[in-house]
Structure 1
Amino acid sequence: MTETPALHALWPAPTADSAVQATVTVPGSKSVTNRALVLAALASEPGWVRRPLRSRDSQLMSDALRALGVGIEETVSSSSAGEGDSGEAWRIIPAALHGPATVDVGNAGTVMRFLPPVATLATGDIRFDGDPRSYERPLGQVITALRTLGARIDDDGRGALPLTVQGGGALEGGTVEIDASNSSQFVSALLLSAPRFNQGVEVRHVGTNLPSMPHIRMTVEMLRAAGVQVDTPESGGEKNVWRVAPGALLGRDLIVEPDLSNAQPFLAAALITGGTVTIRDWPRRTTQPGDALRRIFTDMGGSCELTDAGLVFTGTGKIHGIDVDLSEVGELTPGIAAVAALADSESVLRGVAHLRMHETDRLAALTKEINGLGGDVTETEDGLRIRPRPLHGGTFHTYDDHRMATAGAIIGLAVQDVLIENVATTAKTLPDFPKMWADMLGQEPSGAGA
């Protein structure tokens, strides 16, 4: 399957020589795009996904669904969902899912977790494989849950990739217990396909911790928009229990929101340089975890206003430390840690022990790389303690993790001679990041990955 390339090219992170003044259009949300693709593939009628994110993760998802027989036509089309709204659109044409097929998950958590439940609805064997790091990422809870619900899966007892789902064309469904302490994606994976299970599903989380709840809320909201009945703790159900009734999924015409988590480095640039950055099309209501940046970065010294043009964020050039629980928004941790390393006081980032099992061990990676630039970061049981110190240049390794790359770029705004190893890994969710970064700074792209 896909091998992670041994990319050692170094990208010189641009240093800001003045306060940033920029308007940025952030590509569509990966989380919304990949959920929309799965729901559209399982629908009873064709649908549209408009303004999708075109990145490695979304390409892996669309390629996988095509391998199972789903039709995906990529067009540039005008949307009936909004006057004057046009751009890239994918028409999704559901079909009887079938194998034999091989799915390359790369290192995409949404693909490796969301698609095995889909594969149980196919006929034939569906093999899942991916990058070497994907073998180390937690998947056992999903495998065990699917077996409880009636699936046949061959993983040679690993509880991890690679594996083969022996699809029988249907899945009985029912009640299942799962410990989703390592990833909310375990819950979302079962909920997304549940309308197609004979009995639907009742998912009971039995762990002590449940990170990234906004992503589960996103899954529930998108299911309901497709006509599915979902009972949740928020709607009066039992704590940590989600019930999805069996039934047909409606085809939708969906416009994907900008990826608010990927807006983080651009907002950080305003905060660090004392400038102003406008993020176009920031939604007034959203389930995306990235919306928390408005509060977090304001607490760290900036100010923001949601306008018709988008989110306008302004910094003063002064950055304050923060003590914050990031358990619901863990994906924001690398960027917050980068900003905290430039602050005027200590920061404590809590509630993110689960990041040790993300694309890389993000807590260990952030500690090593920031300290390698002269920082003072220590790991705690569930997060990081960051004591600001004068930083210096050096190589910032990314570990094939897109959010490590953008964290290094954030530090590079204020610290000269920071070299990012393999900035191209940002293509996972933020294509053309080096050019977007240079455009924001009014500079010419330079170096590897530009």
Structure 2
Amino acid sequence: MTATPAHTALWPAPHARGAVDATVHVPGSKSVTNRALVLASLASEPGWLRRPLRSRDTLLMAGALRALGVGIEETVSSSSSPAGAGTPTGPGEAWRVIPSTLHGPATVDVGNAGTVMRFLPPVATLADGPVRFDGDPRAYERPLHGVIDALRALGARIDDEGRGALPLTVHGGGGLDGGPVEIDASSSSQFVSALLLSAPRFNQGVEVRHTGSSLPSMPHIRMTVDMLRAVGAQVDTPESGGEPNVWRVTPGALLGRDLTIEPDLSNAQPFLAAALVTAGTVVIPDWPERTTQPGDRLREIFTEMGGSCELTERGLEFTGSGAVHGIDVDLGEVGELTPGIAAVAALADSPSTLRGVAHLRLHETDRLAALTKEINELGGDVTETADGLHIRPRRLHGGIFHTYDDHRMATAGAILGLAVDDVQIENVATTAKTLPDFPELWAGMLGN
């Protein structure tokens, strides 16, 4: 596979000289922020998002919704408690979302954000006029057929020249009939979430029936359902007694809410990994007791790999034991955690098998191929399987770790750099996609 051009600046990944001992304030969840922006934009009254994530993906979502006519005002409240060190957006920051009649013509830049490229075409069907979607070169390679085909079956007019991918134009008619539709969402659960989020505004709502063999990242669908219900939508799901692989949303008005965004637990991964790798302790404040975020599985996975954790009034306290163990784990529901787990596994005392993540070949980059190539070029022994990776730990050496414009590749390289001298991360700036100021947060954790 082709790496990002060599002229991109290299970042020397800091090497840990001892056990870390830090409190890290992780910014808000990208997944929650972008879903909340969509739902607030489709509501019948204004709403508030407090402590939203300000990153490339969320700013692209906000910019796209503004282009469709939604008002999004950014404010900072002076009455809130001060932000912790390294917090990219303080607790006082809030976005006021003011719904409006959606309109075209408009152009949406999706960047390489899966949530923007998949969640907004259904929204665009509600606009009056054409909405063109474009984005980064890699975005052209990511599958959109599930959303495109489903919207056409529901009555939408979409021009994509048969690509099933970007660029495309949705010819909004000011509404959509909706109704039953079958899709194969085995390449991305976002296909299901995309249809559900806009469904309350469809004339007949929607009944989404997944016809594929497997459905990855189910926690993200549960997140979508919970957030829909929180703003007044009626949703029937397999978990609530409905048919397997069928979700039904009833048409109706959505309420404007005052929502505080949870910390992004998947973005907490590299910091928890640092505690595991260095036999240190990291505290992540505001870790929720109950959440649909996939990152919550880190408590279980990293404990099995040699750490221990406790949820206290300070937050999640995670401590490494001094040993890092291999793991055999199905990551099908939490595939976004794979790069960080692979990095830790490469430093373990026994082999690991990561399964259930064939769909990662269609993410920001082909993550399975990228992890295999980059870890092996540092002296590792990683092989791809049909649906994952097999990792046999070996003594690693320094070198350039390429990121392929993938934020989770960059943080995986940083984890390796804790234990391996002279690792240089190519294009660490790509972490701004979901984790602004990552190098500063990382240095702060290490006391640098």
TM-score with structure 1 setting the length: 0.96
What is the distance in 2 between the residues matched to 1:237 and 1:86?
39
Instruction: After TM superposition, list the pairs within 5 Å mapping 1:45-444 onto structure 2.
Output: 45-77=45-77, 86-443=91-448
In 2: Cα distance, 1:160 partner to 1:289 partner = 26
Deviation at 1:317, TM superposition (A): 2.0
Q: For residue 24 of structure 2, what is the aligned residue in structure 1?
A: 24
Q: Which letter maps to 1:40? A: A
Aligned partners of 1:301, 1:145: CA distance in 2, in Å? 44
Aligned-partner residue type, residue 314 of structure 1: T
Q: Secondary structure at the match of 2:323?
A: coil
Aligned equivalents of 1:5 and 1:395: distance in 2? 12
Task: Provide the C-alpha distance between the structure 1 equivalents of 2:415 and 2:188, rounded to a whole number of angstroms.
Answer: 26
Between the aligned partners of 1:331 and 1:14, the Cα distance in structure 2 is 23
**Per-residue displacement from partner, 1:67-124 (whole Å, max 9, x unpaired)?**
00000000012799xxxx9510000000000000000000000000000000000000
Report the Cα distance in structure 2 between the residues aligned to 1:320 and 1:215, rounded to whole angstroms.
28
SS at 2:92 equivalent = strand
* CA deviation map 1:236-255 (0-9, x unaligned): 00000000000000001000
Structure 1: tracts of 5 or more residues without a match: 444-450
Q: Which letter does structure 1 place at the counterpart of 2:39?
A: L
Per the alignment, do residues 38 and 5 of structure 1 end up closer, same or farther by CA in structure 2, a change over 3 Å counting?
Answer: farther
Deviation at 1:132, TM superposition (A): 0.4
Equivalent residue letter for 1:331? E
C-alpha change, 1:6 and 1:193, in structure 2 (3 Å) is farther
Query: Aligned pairs, how many?
Result: 436
Distance in 2 of aligned mates of 1:291 and 1:305: 13
Amino acid at match of 1:65: L
Partner SS state of residue 268, structure 2: helix
- Give 1:157 shift: 1.0
Identity rate, percent:
83
Counterpart of 1:42? 42
Deviation, structure 1 residue 30? 0.0
Q: Is the 8 A contact 1:120 1:151 kept in 2?
A: yes
Query: SS of 1:261's equivalent?
Result: coil
CA shift, 1:316, in A, is 1.5
**Structure 1 residue 7 displacement after superposition:** 5.7
In the alignment, the residues of structure 1 paired with residue 97 and residue 198 of structure 2 have an alpha-carbon distance, to the nearest angstrom, of 16
SS, match of residue 289 in structure 2: coil
Mark the runs of 5 or more structure 2 residues left unpaired by the alignment.
81-89
Shift of 1:191: 0.1
Kept in 2, the 8 Å contact 1:155–1:163? The answer is yes
Q: In 2, are the aligned partners of 1:7 and 1:421 still within 8 Å (CA)?
A: no
RMSD, aligned α-carbons = 1.2
Amino acid at match of 1:100: P
* Matched AA of 1:48: W
What amino acid is aligned across from residue 9 of structure 2 in structure 1? A
- In 2, the alpha carbon distance for the partners of 1:160 and 1:183 equals 13
Structure 1 residue identity aligned to 2:62: S
TM-score (norm 2): 0.96
8 Å contact from structure 1 (residues 11, 419) kept in 2: yes
Q: How far apart, CA to CA, are the structure 2 residues paired with 1:266 and 1:25?
A: 10
SS of equivalent residue, structure 1 residue 113: helix
Check whether the contact 1:79–1:86 (CA below 8 A) recurs between aligned residues.
no
Q: Which residue of 1 aligns with 2:84?
A: none
Kept in 2: contact 1:7–1:422 (CA 8 A): no
The separation in 1 between residues aligned to 2:364 and 2:322, in whole angstroms, is 31
Secondary structure class of the residue paired with 1:22: strand
